[in-house]
Structure 1
Amino acid sequence: MNLSFFDQFMSPVLMGVPLIVLSLMFPLLMIPAPAAQWAGSRTQSLQLWLYNNFTKQLLMPLNTHGHKWALLLLSLVLLLISMNLLGLMPYTFTPTTQLSMNLGLAIPLWLATVIMGLRNMPTAALGHLLPEGTPTLLTPILIIIETISLFIRPLALGVRLTANLTAGHLLIQLISTATLVLMPLMPMVAFLTAAVLFLLTLLEIAVAMIQAYVFVLLLSLYLQENV
């Protein structure tokens, strides 16, 4: 019985073909195409307003060299938000619950920020491994600790996103199963569990958007240290 709860994290297969590719491409359909006329619709105006505010807030602490990442970071947060929200719909699959995909996004982007720092400002990049004013006896230990924390960063990015989404989906699955089981036995209790399920779904919608924002925000903070 417990194994069936984790079947929702497996990619659906149609005629032997995994549907994860369609899951990755479907968020593009949610973004409206730009209109030919000068005055767009209200949806496009709201979309541009959100894009501008998010980009301004994200790139404010960065210098001019970090602004080159604006398109990449904006595209990444839109991709993560779209896939997280689509995964909350019935009979769908959430690719961001797979640790392999999240690490596949986190490791190359984190590595790009590290390589950029070592290439453009090697002294400052290596200086992050040793805090200023460290006693001489603690220098080797702190260098080892800071190096380990540096390499743990991409793992923390991927695991944080995976764990939050997986826990939310499991709770929704458990409460929905309990609601169906209690419906013929105790309708009043089933109604209460259904209310809890509705509130949990609202919470998961917020978590889906917040975790995508946190993923990109932490990536921008890593970029800030290397530009």
Structure 2
Amino acid sequence: MNENLFASFITPTIVGIPIVIFIIMIPSILFPSPTRLINNRLTSLQQWLIQLILKQLMLIHNIKGRTWSLMLISLILFIGSTNLLGLLPHSFTPTTQLSMNLGMAIPLWAAAVIKGFRHKTKMSLAHFLPQGTPIPLIPMLVIIETISLFIQPMALAVRLTANITAGHLLMHLIGGATLVLSSISPATASITFIILILLTILEFAVALIQAYVFTLLVSLYLHDNT
């Protein structure tokens, strides 16, 4: 039972070779690129959404922070499209793998922190010791602030992994219950099927919201260090 329940989170392979890299490249193929002087409706909608998201993310940033705009918009598009593709039947969601999410979170967090120590050294060091701290509490607060700093990428990765994994597991459980109840109690099966439809709609929203939350937190870390 456990093997079947978590089978959808196993990295797919072909002839024993993992095809995660190929799966990660799929979302970039789905976004149309303008090949003519006049854009079509799909490309215009894509550009409008990108500009809207970019405006929200860059609203709090200064000139140095806005140089990261291309990276942030690429990040939210990648995570959002990957999460949505994972909701399709017989598909695989790479963002359910903690290793992949850590691979995204740690370099982005480290780049923001290094940028802060390079350009705003005094302010970055001041975060480790709030002003007006009593002398006996200084060592403890420095340790606590250091731990909170290094736990930020873990929080990013675990939040994304837990939310996507929990939704997929819940859909799997309710879908299995619906199939079993369809031959036992059709009335109860219809109720669970409606719940499954509502949960699927919720998962579409969660897929986009988690992509926005991940990118927004990276943007806030960047704002604190620029």
Distance 1:17 1:191 in 2: 41
Distance 1:19 1:94 in 2: 12
TM (normalized to structure 1)? 0.97
1:106-143: CA deviations, max 9, x gaps? Answer: 00110011111111111111111112222222222111
Which residue is equivalent to 1:153? 152
Which residue is equivalent to 1:8? 8
Deviates more, 1:71-80 or 1:46-55: 46-55
Q: Which amino acid aligns with 1:69?
A: W
Which residue is equivalent to 2:89? 90
SS in 1 for 2:67: helix
Name stretches of at least 5 consecutive residues in structure 1 with no aligned partner.
none
Shift in Å, 1:16: 2.3
Distance 1:19 1:193 in 2: 34
Which residue is equivalent to 1:122? 121
Deviates more, 1:126-135 or 1:105-114: 126-135
SS in 2 for 1:185: coil
Q: Which amino acid aligns with 2:104?
A: L
TM (normalized to structure 2)? 0.97
Distance 1:90 1:132 in 2: 54
Distance 1:74 1:62 in 2: 14
Q: Which amino acid aligns with 1:20?
A: V
Which residue is equivalent to 2:219? 220
Shift in Å, 1:206: 0.5
Which residue is equivalent to 1:51? 50
Distance 2:188 2:2 in 1: 23
1:47-80: CA deviations, max 9, x gaps? Answer: 1111111111101111100111000000011000
Q: Which amino acid aligns with 2:54?
A: T
Shift in Å, 1:45: 1.4
Name stretches of at least 5 consecutive residues in structure 2 with no aligned partner.
none
Instruction: Could you list the structure 1 runs, at least 4 aligned residues long, displaced by more than 3 angstroms after superposition.
Output: none
SS in 1 for 2:183: coil
Q: After TM superposition, list the pairs within 5 Å mapping 1:132-147 onto structure 2.
A: 132-147=131-146
Q: Which amino acid aligns with 1:149?
A: S
Distance 1:132 1:60 in 2: 28
SS in 1 for 2:6: helix
Which residue is equivalent to 2:210? 211
Q: How many positions carry a matched residue from both structures?
A: 226
CA RMSD of superposed structures (Å): 1.0
Distance 2:21 2:99 in 1: 14
Distance 1:150 1:11 in 2: 31
Deviates more, 1:2-11 or 1:81-90: 2-11
Distance 2:177 2:58 in 1: 45
